[in-house]
Every structure is written in structure tokens, then in C-alpha cells.
Amino acid sequence: MNEPVPHNAVDNRKTVMFLTLIAVAMLGLGMAAKPLYDTFCRVTGYGGTTRVADALSVNTLERPIKVRFDSNVASGLNWSFRPMQTAINVKLGENALAFYTAKNNSDVAIVGTASYNVSPIKAAPYFSKIECFCFTEQRLEPGENVKMPVLFFVDPLMAEELRLEDVKTITLSYTFHPVDKPGDDAFTANDRQAAIDELTALDLSQ
């Protein structure tokens, strides 16, 4: 005949199961937190993250804005990385194409990825990228020196924000990091040239 299970033993099992479920749920949230945070930043411009536009701007205002370009390389990545132009002057809503260069200074192929932000942070929601080398991982062969494009505009809706009247200059900053486990879609020389050919063929005027 089976012995009855003590009541406190049943309670203990329920407690263990409950705590296990909480632990699994917290692990799942932790794994999802980074991509959710990244998506939130891209949509809202939070933390200086720029927005991604799916089409060229079609409305230009006379208000000028200077866009400065900054570059950084994370520790552990043997690359040189710099903008081809230190700054350009555009109008709100004007489509603009800029370029960065990168060189792999090592004797092995390396895949890197670029993180980015805009300052001042309050202007980030109005800085829209249409195409950018930062959207994909970049594979550079040993000694390879490449040119990489970024196509963008500063949203004319910025002119409607009184708190942004003092913004005369926006700085777009990138930092390249090494990729330990690169994906199969990392851009190569052919991909980069195809992207440049496509972008330089666009009519950026409205």
C-alpha cells in the first residue's frame, strides 16, 4: 500500500516547479532583451540610434544643417577606418551620399560590423538612413582597402520641433567591431561594388 505523500513535500515540489518556470522565463527574456532593445532604439531614435527609411526623401526645406562624420575601431580589430569627408552641409530633407573607407591591416580575412549613433541625441529620431554599410557585416580580405557608402537625409519634420531649433550640427559616429561568428551574408568586394553602383546611379534630387 502506497504511503501518503506528506503535505509539506507536495508544497515543496510546487515551489520548485514555480521557481524553475520563473528561471526559464527570465532566461528567455534575457535572450530577447538585446534584439528588442535594438529594435526599440531604431524605431524611436533612443540613445542616439538613427532611424531606417525605406525610401528617398521627397521634401526639402531651406534650413541648413551640417553633418559631421566620426569613426572608431574597437579593441581587437586590426582595421583602419575613417570617413572620406569630415563634414557636409545639407538641407533638411535633402538626400545625401557619403563614404567611409576601411582597410584590413592583418594577414587574414576578418569580418567586422559597425555600431552607430547620432549626437546630439535629441536629433537622432530625425536622422534617417536609407542604405548603409552598417546594415550588414563586412568581410575584408588580408590587406583589402574598401569604400563603403551611407545614404541618408535629415527629416524635415525636425523643423517643427522648437526644442531642436538650436541644432545646427549633427554628428554621425560609427564604431567597427570584430565578429566572432560571422554569418553567411557578410558583404564582400563584389557586394560592396554593386551597392555603390546602385547608389551612385540614383537621382537624389527631388
What is the arithmetic mean of pLDDT over 99-110? 97
Least confident of 48-62, 68-82, 112-126, 127-141: 48-62
3-state secondary structure of 36: helix
DSSP-assigned states of every residue in 92-122: TT--EEEEEEEEE-SSS-EEEEEEEEEESGG
Cα–Cα distance for residue pair 125/10, rounded to 1 Å: 54
195 vs 8: which has the higher pLDDT = 195
- Helical (H) or strand (E) element with 138: strand 138-140
- Helical (H) or strand (E) element with 152: strand 145-154
**Model pLDDT for residues 24-39, shown as the tens digit of each residue:** 555 554 444 334 334 4
What is the arithmetic mean of pLDDT over 138-143? 98
Q: CB 102: neighbour CB atoms within 10 A?
A: 24
Cα–Cα distance for residue pair 59/154, rounded to 1 Å: 11
Cell of 50: 538613427
Cell of 170: 549633427
Residue 79 near residue 73 (C-beta atoms within 8 A): yes
- CATH number assigned to the domain covering 51-200: 2.60.370.10
Instruction: Burial-class residue 48 by CB neighbours within 10 Å (0-12, 13-18, 19+).
Output: buried
Amino acid letter for position 138: Q
DSSP state at residue 18: H
**Model pLDDT for residues 42-92, shown as the tens digit of each residue:** 444 444 456 788 899 999 999 999 999 999 999 999 999 999 999 999 999
Widest Cα–Cα separation across the chain: 90
Cell of 205: 534630387
- pLDDT band, residue 128 (cuts 50/70/90): very high
Cα–Cα distance for residue pair 127/93, rounded to 1 Å: 10
**Model pLDDT for residues 165-203, shown as the tens digit of each residue:** 999 999 999 999 999 989 889 999 999 999 999 999 999
Whether the model clears a pTM of 0.85, i.e. scores above it, the answer is no
Mean pLDDT across the chain: 85
Cα–Cα distance for residue pair 205/87, rounded to 1 Å: 20
